[in-house]
A and B are shown apart, each in its own frame.
Chain A
Amino acid sequence: MKNILLAEDDRDDSMFFEIALKELYIDSSLIVAIDGAQLMDTLEKTVPPPPSVIFLDLNMPKKSGFECLAEIRNSTKFKDIPVIIFSTSSSPQNIEKTYDLGANFYICKPRKFENLKKAILKIISLVESQTIMQPKRNEYFLKLA
């Protein structure tokens, strides 16, 4: 049973995420925070135990993904939680910045549902095998061809 935390302000995207998880038959519980502030609140309330993984959107109201990421990595309680950036943007600047802040992978929100499923599966399998660590810079951006 995986505790997956999704920070996402877009209802459609969180719906796609939920459906994808369901279709992948992953045994998990999904908590969705609709902005950065809510994400941090949720973390404060639920940790410990820490979630298995956080999927973090960057462009969010109240508190951006960058701010959340920085807070998580600077906190002793949360710093070891795997954080996957899940953004519409594929701008190199954002990729670089989040890598430097300590995110584990960067996923550009796919334009095909199948690719979304592939991405989630890859991350979950990494989390399960407990080998999820920050990779080399050139492997950080997850390509979903």
Chain B
Amino acid sequence: MIKKPTIKTIFVSAIIILLALTFLSYFRIKNLSESASWVNHTKNVEITLEKIYINILELESSHKGYILSKDSVYLNSLEIRNAELDINLDLLQNLIKDNRGQVKRLSEIRNLIAKNRTFFRGLTKKSQSSDISPLVWIEGKKILDVLKNRILEMTLEEDKLGDKRISIFVQASFLTPFFTFILVIVSISSLIVAYVKIISDLKASEKLKIRLENKSNDIAVSSEKLALQNIEIKRRAADFLLANSELAFQNDEKEQRAAELRLANTELAFQNAEKEKRAAELSAANIELAFQNEEKEKRAEELRIANTELAFQNEEKEKRAEELTLANKELAFQNEEKENQAIELKAANKELDAFVYVSSHDLQEPLRKIQIFGGRILEKEAEVLSETGKDYFNRMLDAANRMQTLIEDLLAFSRLNTEERIFEETNVNQIIEEVRTELWETIEEKQAQIEVEGFCTLKIIPFQFRQLVANLMTNSLKFSKPKIAPIIKIKFEDGENLPIVERNKMQKKKFCHISFSDNGIGFEPEYKDKIFEVFQRLHGKEVYSGTGIGLAIVKKIVENHKGFIFAKGVLGEGSQFDIYLPA
């Protein structure tokens, strides 16, 4: 690519050309003035030569005048002419000093002048004493003629030089303006080139300037943005500093934690090894699972179909849910009603308990009278009674006795509610022994075996628990199979096999399990709950006596201890009562 000439190169080259031309012009002018001065010089030499010639002529005439007139006026002029001649000679000497030919001629002229002077001085002296012969004048004329020739020679020589010098001057006076003209032309053209170049550069720079201005506007805008960003960044930096110190603190914490983690890592590495073993086992299991997965995918397809069905059912259920919400509101209202009723019932129950207790107690008085009076009549008035009368009396007393038992049982049952419940840490085995002693007569009679397995101490209400044991034992003895010795087994176990439903009802999780089992007549399993209800009898009074309250009392006592009782019976094989009491 060709580089465009810059202003700098244009100026530099213009200056160089101008300088060169200036030097040339300078030398040309110098030449011209030199040649002019040489022309002048020649004229000066010729003029001086003429003056010298005139001076010599004047000197001769003055000498001649003095000699002739002896007038001293001529002497004065002689001296002035001599001085002038010397000055002109020196002047000429100075003008022609660099031209040897002329200098030689001048010295000849000086000698001739000196001869002339010497001649005229001798002549002057002679004139004072005698007259001068004309011959003597001719001698003088000869000297003057030689002098005249010599001066002419010099003038001719100078004329020759002057011609040469004039031709040089003419040449120079033609060349010098030519050079000056060229200089002017070159100067003007380089100015024009420079001007054009400057104009084009100015245009270019104007364009650049506009672009720069646009750019600088953009830059100003972005500068403002940057300034804003700067402020934001400073703010952020402050935040970062705070965060940094926080992070530094956290770092310390984390390093501590890291140390702990390293320890934990070692532990984990060990566990990892264990897990890898397990993983191997699991991969075997995985293969099995993959097979099962296939099966499940089949099942999933079936389930998708079922899902569609369920979605439909869901809709139905949502409708139903709405109905249920309404029903719920109704139930909430009823619930409130029932709570109120429950409070009323509690109060009523209390009254009822008191009523049962009092009435049972008061019923005993007349009953006892019937019993005593009946007994007194049979004892004291037997002889006056017929056999039928005695039979009736006996039946009456039996009925009275049954009523007594009934009242006593009822009283015991109602007492379970009204009595204060005092729990004591009690040895259950001891209570069983006491009951066994109490019932020894029946036990002997039936030849019953009572086996107690284990040992137990519980926090119970001792009196009530004694009654419980007595009632269960009496039951087993009463409902034994005819002609077979009853075997009663009492076992203490921990309450692990308490049904979950019951366990969940209780805060307490530990239970003691006491089981009473016998080899008696048992009962049909369907009665397992009914036998605990008051006045529920499974057998006729004629076969087995009893009030139907015994087991109700047992259940009540267990409930008073916050326990559970379950009956299990197999008809003809025996029955078992499982009691769970909180340990």
Contacts and interface: CB of A to CB of B under 8 A. Distances in A.
Interface stretch (A27-35, A68-76, A84-92, A129-137): A84-92
Given A10-B365, A88-B365, A89-B361, A113 B419 contact: no
Contacts of B372: 16, 110-113, 116
Contacts of A114: 375
Nearest to B379: A113
Contact of B419 (A10, A88, A89, A93): A93
B171 to A, nearest CB: 176
B361 A109 contact: no
Contacts of B411: 91
B304 to A, nearest CB: 71
A113 B376 CA distance: 7
B355 to A, nearest CB: 16
Contact of B375 (A88, A89, A113): A113
B197 interface: no
A41 interface: no
Interface in B544-570: none
A139 interface: no
A34 B313 CA distance: 82
Contacts of B77: none
Contacts of A100: none
B404 interface: yes
Contacts of A93: 419-420
Interface string A116-136: 100000000000000000000
A135 to B, nearest CB: 19
A91 B415 contact: yes
B440 interface: no
Contacts of A91: 361, 411, 415
A92 B368 contact: no
Contacts of A92: 419, 463
Given A111-B404, A112-B375, A113-B375, A12 B369 contact: yes
**Interface size class, chain A:** 10 to 19
Contacts of B463: 92
B365 A111 contact: no
B364 interface: yes
A114 to B, nearest CB: 8
A68 to B, nearest CB: 19
A10 B368 CA distance: 12
Interface in B196-236: none
A110 B361 CA distance: 14
Given A88-B361, A89-B361, A92-B463, A111 B415 contact: no
A89 to B, nearest CB: 6
B371 interface: yes
A88 B376 contact: no
A130 B366 CA distance: 35
A111 B368 contact: yes
Contacts of A111: 367-368, 371-372, 375, 401, 404
A115 B179 CA distance: 186
A28 to B, nearest CB: 21
A112 B371 contact: yes
B323 to A, nearest CB: 55
Contact of B364 (A12, A88, A113, A116): A88
Interface in B324-381: 361, 364-365, 367-369, 371-372, 375-376, 379
Contacts of B420: 93
A111 B375 CA distance: 9
A110 B401 CA distance: 12
A109 B463 CA distance: 22
A12 B368 CA distance: 11
Interface in A97-111: 109-111
Interface in A49-93: 88-89, 91-93
A109 B368 contact: yes
Contacts of B415: 91
B375 to A, nearest CB: 6
A117 to B, nearest CB: 11
A113 B377 CA distance: 11
Interface of B: 361, 364-365, 367-369, 371-372, 375-376, 379, 401, 404, 411, 415, 419-420, 463
14 contacts: A16-B372, A89-B361, A89-B364, A92-B463, A93-B419, A111-B371, A111-B375, A111-B401, A112-B371, A112-B375, A113-B372, A113-B376, A114-B375, A116-B372
Given A12-B369, A93-B420, 16 more contacts: A10-B365, A16-B372, A88-B364, A89-B361, A89-B364, A91-B361, A91-B411, A92-B419, A111-B367, A111-B375, A111-B404, A112-B372, A112-B375, A113-B375, A113-B376, A116-B372
10 pairs of A and B residues whose beta carbons are closest in the complex = A111-B371, A111-B368, A88-B364, A113-B372, A12-B369, A112-B375, A113-B375, A88-B365, A113-B376, A92-B463
